[in-house]
Amino acid sequence: MKNLTYLFLLIGILSCQNKPTDGKTKKMAIVVSTLNNPWFVFLAENAAAKAKELGYETKIFDSQNNTALESDHFENALVSGYQAILFNSTDADGSIVHVQKAKSAGVPVFCMDREVNSTDAATSQILSDSYSGSVAVGKYFVQQLNKKGEYVELLGLVGDNNTWARSKGFHSVADNYPNIKMVAQQSADFDRNKAMEVMESMLQAHPNINGVFCGNDAMAMGAYQALAGAGKANQVQVFGFDGADDVIAAIKAGKIAATGMQFPKVMAQKAAVFADEYLKGKRDFAQKIPVAVELVTKANIEDYTAFGKK
Amino acid sequence: MIKYTLIAIAILFIGYHSIEVKPLDVVKKAASQKLDAVDFARTFLTKTLPPALEKAMPIQNLVAALISDKNKAFNELSHAVSIGNVRHFLVKGEGVVSKITEDEVVILVPNQNKNLSLRLATEFIYGNSIRDAAGLFDIKNFTNNSDVNNIASEINKIIRTEVIPPFKQQVKVGSKVQFTGALEMNQEHPQTDNLEILPISIQL
């Protein structure tokens, strides 16, 4: 009986050595900026699903848009033996130190959708091509306005790189047409309610506008609400960016003119595949890889659903 | 006296560590490493791209290839810097102008049973097609996305300001046109009619 006890003890010790903490079990951590927004939930879940498909254990960490919490998640991931981190940052500058810490520990980080402002911290950054997507929206905007008219722009968070990439892409087209005039530009923080308030205020000062370019779909919906409330929904065309479900429905209904469709699933899956390739020995990755954004209008709306293609 | 000496030492210490002195040649070298997108775009259009234009796919052949085997055509003939469904083809052709509008010139290219109608863009020349179509632009050479975007923007600007104006001045309905250009297509939903081509070179 005593020998049998020792045998079970030995088996127990040996089985412990195969648990994830030994660093040999294949594990990927997914650290995401927030799970309060369905777009990021979709991103995180698709990253986890692809990593699992590739044979990895996964865990999703929610940073709740807080860099301090994000720092804790990185610490936990490194201590717990995760071999790669698929990362959606909370702050382009503030998150760099976390990525560098992982890099120093020999753990590669693959950024998804949101970039960090460093070119030697993450192994690769897979990002929506916001600039080019907004060029496409800008071209359609100019065509829809027949190269003339007044418009306003609702910017996203002023500290977010995507805000300016989208604005610059749009202006790289619209600014070439002297008869199209931007009469106001203001941030609404990517927020629907704030966009409605800003739009209401803008309409007081500029009642004759023909178009609104919004840095995301939530603001586009807020702007549309304000326009509808003011009885100007048929006079002003609204353009968004993201590919959110309510905007897809609004394009079908003729309420929103167009959006730039992003593909979170593509970014998430590519990050997991890259991490797998890295762990198998590949080292030659482009630092920043753009993911194409597609123009969605009433003409091609049937080809799309929220967050991507049907 | 000791008090003032200590203050002076403290000021000198803080002052020394507040200023970074670099040799001028190091600063100039760092500045020169910034990408000049205008210069890059011109070199791309005048030196990098021309050899590839000779090997551009005749547009009729591309349409036939897409109808015959879409996936093979995209895999073998299209290029894109971005991941995703938006791809670009380098094409060439010859046809007769059938219509001229403010934004485009419509040309008919002889094809097997009926003419192929193409729209040569003369106004809305934007996006990444011309940069990407030949597959000669390697994003691994760039760490900054704004450089990649600025290059596309400058390439398009050169076409809009230097290639298009003389063409628009001379072109008439009935003119014979030879062109090379870039064609953007969505891999998931390719269309083989009503094609819009961004010109790279045009000859009347």
Burial class (CB in 10 A: 0-12, 13-18, 19+), A233: middle
The 10 Å Cβ neighbour count of residue A147 is 16
CB contacts, 8 Å: A165 with chain B: 145, 149
CB contacts, 8 Å: B139 with chain A: 286, 288-290
Token digits of residue B13: 């210490």
Query: Could you tell me if A263 lies within 8 Å of chain B, comparing CB atoms?
Result: yes
pLDDT for A47-106, tens place per residue? Answer: 999 999 999 999 999 999 899 999 999 999 999 999 999 999 988 889 999 999 999 999
pLDDT for B161-199, tens place per residue? Answer: 999 999 999 999 999 999 999 999 999 989 888 899 999
Rounded Cα distance, A90 and A68, in Å:
10
pLDDT for A2-11, tens place per residue? Answer: 554 554 444 4
pLDDT for B99-146, tens place per residue? Answer: 999 999 999 999 877 889 999 999 999 999 999 999 999 888 887 778
In sequence order, the β-bridge partners of residue A29 are A59, A85
- Residue B1's pLDDT is what? 61
pLDDT for B5-31, tens place per residue? Answer: 766 666 656 555 555 545 444 444 444
Mean pLDDT value across residues A131-146: 97
Q: What is the DSSP letter of A185?
A: E
Rounded Cα distance, A237 and A180, in Å:
14
Query: Could you tell me if A286 lies within 8 Å of chain B, comparing CB atoms?
Result: yes
Best mutation target among B34, B74, B86 (most A Cβ atoms within 10 Å) is B86
Place of tokens 């800008």: A138
Q: What angle do CA A154, A156, A162 make, to 5 degrees?
A: 125
Rounded Cα distance, B107 and B104, in Å:
10
Q: What angle do CA A42, A47, A51 make, to 5 degrees?
A: 150
pLDDT for B31-85, tens place per residue? Answer: 445 789 999 999 999 999 999 999 999 999 999 999 999 999 999 999 999 999 9
Nearest of A231, A230, A237 to residue A298 by alpha carbon: A237
- Residue B180's pLDDT is what? 97
Q: Inspect the interface and report whether the beta carbons of B83 and A131 lie closer than 8 Å.
A: no
- Residue A310's pLDDT is what? 53
Count of H-run helices and E-run strands, chain A: 10, 14
Q: What's the gap between Cα B169 and its chain centre?
A: 24
Which residues are within 8 A (CB) of A179 and not within 5 positions of it... i.e. 6 or more apart?
A: A147, A148, A149
- Residue A21's pLDDT is what? 44
- Residue B3's pLDDT is what? 66
Query: Could you tell me if A189 lies within 8 Å of chain B, comparing CB atoms?
Result: no
**Among A27-31, A180-184, B3-7, B143-147, where is mean pLDDT lowest?**
B3-7
Query: Could you tell me if B81 lies within 8 Å of chain A, comparing CB atoms?
Result: yes
- Residue B24's pLDDT is what? 44
Query: Could you tell me if A180 lies within 8 Å of chain B, comparing CB atoms?
Result: no
- Residue B136's pLDDT is what? 93
Confidence category of residue A198, pLDDT binned at 50, 70, 90: very high
Confidence category of residue A19, pLDDT binned at 50, 70, 90: very low
- Residue A263's pLDDT is what? 94
- Residue A14's pLDDT is what? 41
Nearest of A186, A224, A232, A190 to residue A208 by alpha carbon: A232
Rounded Cα distance, A283 and B136, in Å:
22
Q: Half-sphere exposure (CA, 13 Å, Cβ side) for A131?
A: 22
Percentage, residues of chain A above pLDDT 70: 92
Instruction: State the average pLDDT for chain A.
Output: 91
Rounded Cα distance, A48 and A39, in Å:
15
Which of 9-68 (B) contact A at CB < 8 A?
none
Confidence category of residue A117, pLDDT binned at 50, 70, 90: confident
Q: What's the gap between Cα B175 and its chain centre?
A: 27
- Residue B18's pLDDT is what? 52
pLDDT for B178-187, tens place per residue? Answer: 999 999 999 9
CB contacts, 8 Å: B149 with chain A: 131-132, 165, 168-169
Q: State which residue of chain A sits closest to B86, comparing Cα positions.
A: A292
CB contacts, 8 Å: A288 with chain B: 139, 142-145
Who wins on pLDDT, A289 or B35?
A289
Length of chain B: 204
Q: Are B184 and B36 in contact (CB under 8 A)?
A: no
- Residue A37's pLDDT is what? 78
